[in-house]
Each structure stands twice: as C-alpha cells, then as structure tokens.
Amino acid sequence: MTEKQGYSDARPDRNRLDLRADCENCFGLCCAALPFAASVDFAMDKNAGQPCSNLQSDFRCGVHTNLRELGFRGCTVYDCFGAGQKVSHVTFGGQDWRQHPESAKQMFEVFPVMWHLHELLWYLSEALTLQPARSIHGELSNAFEETIRLTGLSPDSLMKLDVAAHRVEVNVLLLRTSELVRAEVSRQKQDSSGRKKKNYGRGADLIGANLRGNDLRGANLRGAYLIAADLSGANLRGADLIGADFRDADLCGADLTGSIFLTQAQLNAAKGDDNTKFPQSLTRPAHWSTRRA
C-alpha cells in the first residue's frame, strides 16, 4: 500500500498528508457518485450515480479551470479528504467503474461512507497535535486507529457500517478537545475589565453579521452560519470552526492561525486576501484577491 493509496503508519502527523484529495489517483468519484441540484452553486441538476457531463474519459474535469465562471462553484468548495483515491485504489483495487461497470453502484455507495471516515481522521489527526488536549490523547489515538481500521474494510462491510454511530462516538472526543483548547485560550485572553467575551455557541445564526475586527479567540463557532458575514480583520485564534458555514464570508485580514478543525473546503467557500492568516496545513484558495480593496 503506497502513501497515496492508504496510510503509511499510525502517526497522525504523517497520515494527514494522505487526507488530501488526489484527483490524479481517483476515478472521478465526486463527479459521479454525488448528486447536486441547479442553484447558485451548480449550473444544472445531477442525480447520484450519474456521471457529470463535464467528466472526461480519463476521469478529469473538462472545465476544471473555469468552474466558478461556468456556475459550478460548489465543485470548488468540495473536499473528499482523500477518500476518492482510497476507494479507487485500495477498496476496489484500482478497478475503475467504467471498465468494470458491475462495480459502479457499489463503489458510488461506498464513497460517501469513506468520506465520512476520512473527515473524522482529519479532525482526529489535528486533535492529536493539540497540547491542551494531551490529557485525552490516549482516547483520541484509539479513535484514530479504529477509524483507520474501518477504512480498510471490504466494500460489503463498509456498506453495512453504521458510520453515523461512529461519528457520534468520535464527536464526543472532538467536543472535549474543543473545550480543553478554548478553556486555555479563555484563560489567556482576559481583558482589562475582566468581562467575558461573547460566546455564540453551536449553530449560531450569524448570516451577514458584522464581526469586522472582533476578538473571537476561543469562540465556539461549531456549525455556525457565517454566510456572507464580515469577519475581516477578526481574530479567530483558538476558535472551534468545525462545520461552520463560511460561504461568501469576508476573511480578508482575518487571523485563523491556531483555530481548530478548519478545513480547506471552508477556506475555499470564503473570500480572503494576502493578509488572511490560516493554518499551515491548508493552502490559499486561487480565487482570493491579492490585496484588500
């Protein structure tokens, strides 16, 4: 098993490299297995299991460089966390669904399951690097190794897997990690008046909110709706951003270094510039502006 195809060992710092989408080693699974509906994110409807009309015979996207201009912004903010190449070359041993059409249905059904597992591995691998959570690193490591084991199941076993139940178990540990990290940040950021900073809480409705320049260090923004919110210049160090919706949020000049559970897809969905700071594990989206207007 190569590092591109699976996991080199049980070390989270190395395995995170395997949790990045490698489209060159995938059979276009996100373009075939997943459905989407005509909307601001997609220019047309597509059913699950129906290959996108832009998918070429070599499993590459024919309009990849113009997705946003052609109305396929949703494709640019999707991240499979490496599940595509894992299903293609490990679970199905490199037999693609075009040359082996009898495997297509099962492959398309397995892919979302693997995606859930790889997303959990992304979060767990980060949690294992956070020193404030060192008291539960043993439990996190066990969950990490168990999730890796599940990714190696056969297609039949993956289809029977109760991935939702596994997510619930892992989320308990991720929430504890968040609480430990944010508690340490809160201890470090007492302002001169001793007043506590506002804590928005999970699933907060902050659509279009003006949070420009706000001190959001250690904030609980799990699942927050930050669509089109102005977060320019905001300090998000130590904030829990798991599942936060950053579509069209303004992150120009914002500081997200040290934030926890941020993903590439969330950055891709937002607007930013050269002054936006973010974790080194992520990359600057190509559509971000080069300077603050």
pLDDT digits (tens, 9 = 90+) for 145-160: 999 999 999 999 999 9
Q: What is the pLDDT of residues 122-141, one digit of tens each?
A: 999 999 999 999 999 999 99
Q: What share of the chain has pLDDT > 90, as a percent?
A: 76
pLDDT score at 194: 52
Q: Above 60 in pLDDT, residue 79?
A: yes
pLDDT score at 4: 41
Residue 110: which of 27, 18, 3 has the closest Cα? 27
pLDDT score at 198: 63
d(CA 91, CA 155): 6
d(CA 177, CA 241): 13
Amino acid identity of residue 113, one-letter, is V
Q: Which of 3.40.50.720, 3.40.50.740, 2.160.20.80, 3.80.10.10 would CATH assign to domain 200-293?
A: 2.160.20.80
More confident residue, 223 or 40: 223
Q: Phi and psi (nearest 5°) for 160?
A: -90, -10
Q: What is the CA radius of gyration of the chain?
A: 20
Mean pLDDT, residues 65-90: 91
Mean per-residue pLDDT of the chain: 90
- Give the angle 49-51-55 at the CA atoms, nearest 5°: 155
Mean pLDDT, residues 83-107: 96
Q: Above 70 in pLDDT, residue 292?
A: no
Amino acid identity of residue 14, one-letter, is R
Domain boundaries, the chain: 12-181, 200-293
pLDDT score at 237: 94
d(CA 29, CA 277): 32
pLDDT score at 293: 45
d(CA 215, CA 174): 23
Q: Above 60 in pLDDT, residue 3?
A: no
Amino acid identity of residue 207, one-letter, is I
Mean pLDDT, residues 88-114: 96
